[in-house]
Amino acid sequence: MPEKKRILIVEDHTLLRAGLRALLTQEPDVEIAGEASNGRDAVQSIGTLRPHLVLMDLSMPGMNGIEAIRDIKRRYPETRVLVLTIHKADEYIHESLRAGADGYLLKDATHDELRVAIRSVLSGKPYLSPDIAGKIINGYLGAGNPPGPSCAWDSLTHREREVLKLVAEGHPNKYIAEYFNLSVKTVEKHRSNLMKKLDLHNAASLTAYAIEKGLLAS
């Protein structure tokens, strides 16, 4: 019998991890190699578990998904990574692909689409959700090339964008610090940098900006 393809599920929500495990155990040609709730644990476990494919969430405490993808591709370039996320904003898409993601799938996908995405990526073919593919094509048709660091938004680091999202959701600095395993002082620095780079001066303006950028989309 052909070897089953091993999959590592990286997702910080316990119920969603359980749901993905239940769906994937129905597939005869794949098996769950393990699970991780953050990027750091995922990177550390790959050396032992040697999965063929990593299903990667993006917004997680500690090391986020994009940082983890970058680290995985540096250490284990043969490991395929399929992003599974709620984020539709262009910035998340482009940063994930630049980090080395082999596919980008939205969490509102059907079981059939998840199956197709996994098999495409495992076979060496990139996979993008139809909505995501459309956004990328429109971006190229409209500008001729991917967006570059030409505006304030593009100057933000991925961590600053994640802090912006949590600030816009109304979370205090202490919560954000605990969520990302950072000090409160570091979060305050990220928040200060955000306001300086975006020329915004209060939480309300940051929230409006986050909504405009699609960071609060469900």
Instruction: Give the angle 189-193-196 at the CA atoms, nearest 5°.
Output: 140
pLDDT band at residue 1, thresholds of 50, 70 and 90? Answer: low
Environment class of residue 81 by beta-carbon count within 10 Å: exposed (0-12), middle (13-18) or buried (19+)?
buried
Question: Which two three-digit tokens encode residue 39?
Answer: 């990027």
Q: What is the pLDDT of residue 20?
A: 96
Q: What is the pTM of this model?
A: 0.72
CATH annotation of 152-212: 1.10.10.10
Q: Give the whole-angstrom CA distance, residue 178 versus residue 106.
A: 27
- Give the Cα separation of 186 and 90 in Å (integer): 26
Structure tokens at 157: 């680091």
pLDDT at 204: 76
Q: Give me the CATH topology for the region 5-142.
A: Rossmann fold (3.40.50)
Question: What's the distance, Cα to Cα, between the start and end of the chain in Å?
Answer: 41
pLDDT tens digits, one per residue of 33-83: 999 999 999 999 999 999 999 999 998 888 889 999 999 999 999 999 999
pLDDT digits (tens, 9 = 90+) for 11-34: 999 999 999 999 999 999 999 999
In the chain, where are the structural domains located? Answer: 5-142, 152-212
Tokens of 36: 């991780």
Q: Tell me the average pLDDT of the chain.
A: 87
pLDDT for 147 beyond 50 = no
Pairing of strands 80-85, 103-106: parallel
- The token pair at 185 is 């002082």
- Please say whether the beta carbons of 101 and 126 come within 8 A: no
What 3-state class would DSSP assign to 203?
helix
Q: Which amino acid is at 104?
A: Y
Query: Which range among 14-23, 113-122, 156-165, 197-206 shows the weakest confidence by mean pLDDT?
Result: 197-206
Dist. CA 168–CA 216, nearest whole Å:
8
Cα separation of 43 and 39, whole Å? 6
